[in-house]
Chains A and B, each alone.
Chain A
Amino acid sequence: MSGDGKGGNRPSGPAEKSSPPIHLRPARDDDLSALIPLLLRLKRLNEEFDPLLKVRDDAEQQARQILKADLTNPKAIVLAAEGVGADRDKVVGFVRAHIRERAFYAPEHEGVILDIYLLPLYRRRGVGEHVLGEITNALKAKGAGIVTAEFPAQNEIAGRFYTKRGFRPITAVQARSL
């Protein structure tokens, strides 16, 4: 997660005042070329946290396939974040989530936030909060009774972001190389 909640790194220059907030809408086919590099930026950021998240050489192709499939999958949601004002038609971020079925637990439908990415100039000022609110509503509308978020375990900033908003760890995934 690269949105809000990163204490201490707030830019102090005029960029903060002049940067516009964002507007979210469902992503379309013609957003693909803008979304792919953003998804790749997020995965490369994840790689910074953990070498076990090393980005594959064919990641770009993967990104295209996955996003394309999500756009027609009724159990997937991709929202594109657009700038406002002069940046109105520019895709500056996105959020991607899936509805998963839980075989043993209730509630049955789980909304999983898989990726959130915003370009640096469009972070803070409550933008992350706004994105989380919108995606949560969209997942609810698709029947989710619980919302979860996946991110690298080493990304403490994302951890703090969600914890502050009422999330807590429920499943742990540990890994070792083979």
Chain B
Amino acid sequence: MARSASSPVEPDPPDRKKARRRSTAAKRSEDQTDLLGERSVELSRFYGGKIETVPKVPVRSLEDFALWYTPGVAAVSRAIQADPDRAFELTGRWNTIAIVTDGSRVLGLGEIGPEAALPVMEGKALLFKVLGGVDAIPIPIRVKSPEEFIATVEAMAPAFGGINLEDIASPKCFGILEKLSKRLPIPVWHDDQLGTAAATVAGLLNALELTHRSVHHVRTVLLGAGAANLVTARLLLALGHPAHQLTLVDQKGVLHADREDLDELELHNPWKYRIALATNGGGRTGDLKAALEGADVLVAASTPNPDTVRREHVRAMAKDPIVFALANPVPEIWPEVAHEAGAAIVATGRSDFPNQVNNSLIFPAVFRGVLDARARSIPDEVVLAAAKELARGAALKGLSSHHLLPTMEELEVFPQIAAAVGDTTVRLGIARRKLSHDEFLERARTLMGRPAQLVRALARARLTPPMPRAGPRRRRST
């Protein structure tokens, strides 16, 4: 989730009760993380990584290789040579994406390099397969510049139906996504920008609904101006949020057009510069507190520190404010504290609190949708379609201040989002395959359901060894 920027606020004066609560919650979270970490290393060693390739064709005897490989395969190659789009029909390209990272901003770990990024990319590939039925290949690359990154991905694009960019530092992630989206004939996605922003917008739409507000009249403050919030701002503006009521705040305070660092931003972060000009601080200057006076919504995607947003900040907001504190693993304010200070609705990036804003609810379905439509790109209209469908998915089950977004257990929402994505690509004229809504939905249900069957079958046949108990380390016997 949110992994960006730091905040302009000083820590609270000492407050024993709060400090105690914070330390208990933080300690619990740290202990849990340590435990999971140890176990993850143990299991990674046992299984030797998380994914492998498996043939999807029968191999009855060695003679079948004459079909799957030479000489038979030459005819398949010639067909694709004559019409390159046939690669989407005659090879696995229709369902295969690359997960590409330079390892420049991995989780909360920072620049750890491509090798160390691999386990994270393998994990993402696992999520893609299990949740979206998408074959994703982890590809951490060693590159020195954004230009080299772009050239490398461009060079590998012929093998893939889509590209998922992962864990790239801001602001270079913006330029890389923008240029690749323009140059490649396949969809390119950067989850830290688009996935997080789409899930955030989905949660916001429902929170506005619950508190009887309209996106056209609301006043919103975004704390943190990194990958996620800059795109959240862009999407909110596209939804009709008034620009003069949208305020971004970063470590230097309110982001407005007269700020001293604007020229520097124009050169080094034109995306942030553009949002600064478009919103002009929502007519405000000063710090977070000044920005929040009378605001309806706060979306914090900034620093994992529960004192980043304080009670008095929430108290300064309008009646029944909406507070999204999305930093992981520790939100900018504990939900309990935000509620005590008057927040009507609180969301975080964590699964152990209600209302998890989780990009895993978005990316598998978006890729299912664009792959099934063989789409050429993923414009913001598609991202918004996914966000709206996710919001609708929660509403169908009944909205409440504790059920703002579907949980990962509400599986039915995934194919619905995929179908909404597919429909939108058809409407925008960027789909190579124009299926009907029902066809998209049916296909998504089938393809998204298959991996679970596969995983079960492999386990039943003991081809996937059962998970060893935690404790004494064991080696896989192969």
A residues lining the B interface (CB < 8 Å): 2, 6, 8-16, 41, 44-45, 48-49, 119-121
Chain B's interface size range is 20 to 34
Which residue of B237, B244, B257, B260 is within 8 Å of A41 (Cβ)?
B260
Name A13's closest neighbour in chain B (CB-CB): B278
Name B270's closest neighbour in chain A (CB-CB): A9
Name the A residues within 8 Å of B263 (CB-CB): 2, 41, 44-45, 48, 120
Q: How far is the CA of A12 from the CA of B237 in the complex (A)?
A: 10
Known contacts A8-B270, A9-B273, A120-B277: A15-B264 contact under CB 8 Å:
no
Q: How far is the CA of A44 from the CA of B262 in the complex (A)?
A: 11
Name the B residues within 8 Å of A44 (CB-CB): 260, 263-264
* Contact assessment for B278 and A9 in the assembled complex, using a CB-CB cutoff below 8 Å: no
CB within 8 Å: A-B pair count:
60
A8-B270, A15-B278, A15-B279 known; 12 other A-B pairs, CB under 8 Å?
A: A13-B278, A14-B244, A16-B277, A41-B260, A44-B263, A44-B264, A45-B267, A48-B263, A49-B267, A119-B257, A120-B263, A120-B277
* Contact assessment for B258 and A119 in the assembled complex, using a CB-CB cutoff below 8 Å: yes
* Contact assessment for A120 and B266 in the assembled complex, using a CB-CB cutoff below 8 Å: yes
Name the A residues within 8 Å of B273 (CB-CB): 9, 11, 120
- Give 30 CB contacts A-B under 8 Å: A6-B266, A8-B270, A9-B266, A9-B273, A9-B274, A11-B273, A11-B274, A11-B277, A13-B275, A13-B279, A14-B242, A14-B243, A15-B243, A15-B257, A16-B278, A45-B263, A45-B264, A45-B267, A48-B263, A48-B267, A48-B268, A49-B267, A119-B258, A120-B257, A120-B258, A120-B262, A120-B263, A120-B266, A120-B276, A121-B258
Name the A residues within 8 Å of B243 (CB-CB): 13-15
Which residue of A6, A8, A14, A41 is within 8 Å of B278 (Cβ)?
A14
* Contact assessment for A121 and B266 in the assembled complex, using a CB-CB cutoff below 8 Å: no
B residues lining the A interface (CB < 8 Å): 237, 242-244, 257-258, 260, 262-264, 266-268, 270, 273-280
Min C-beta distance of B312 to chain A, whole Å: 30
Q: How far is the CA of A120 from the CA of B266 in the complex (A)?
A: 9
Q: How far is the CA of A15 from the CA of B242 in the complex (A)?
A: 11
Name the A residues within 8 Å of B278 (CB-CB): 11-16
Min C-beta distance of B308 to chain A, whole Å: 27
Known contacts A14-B244, A15-B243: A121-B277 contact under CB 8 Å:
yes
Q: How far is the CA of A11 from the CA of B280 in the complex (A)?
A: 11
Q: How far is the CA of A119 from the CA of B262 in the complex (A)?
A: 9
Which residue of A2, A6, A41, A121 is within 8 Å of B280 (Cβ)?
A121
Min C-beta distance of B247 to chain A, whole Å: 13
Name B242's closest neighbour in chain A (CB-CB): A14
Name B265's closest neighbour in chain A (CB-CB): A120
* Contact assessment for B277 and A48 in the assembled complex, using a CB-CB cutoff below 8 Å: no
* Contact assessment for B237 and A13 in the assembled complex, using a CB-CB cutoff below 8 Å: yes
Min C-beta distance of B413 to chain A, whole Å: 31
Name the A residues within 8 Å of B270 (CB-CB): 8-9
Name the A residues within 8 Å of B279 (CB-CB): 13, 15
Greatest chain B CB density within 10 A among A2, A48, A120 is at: A120
Q: How far is the CA of A113 from the CA of B181 in the complex (A)?
A: 40
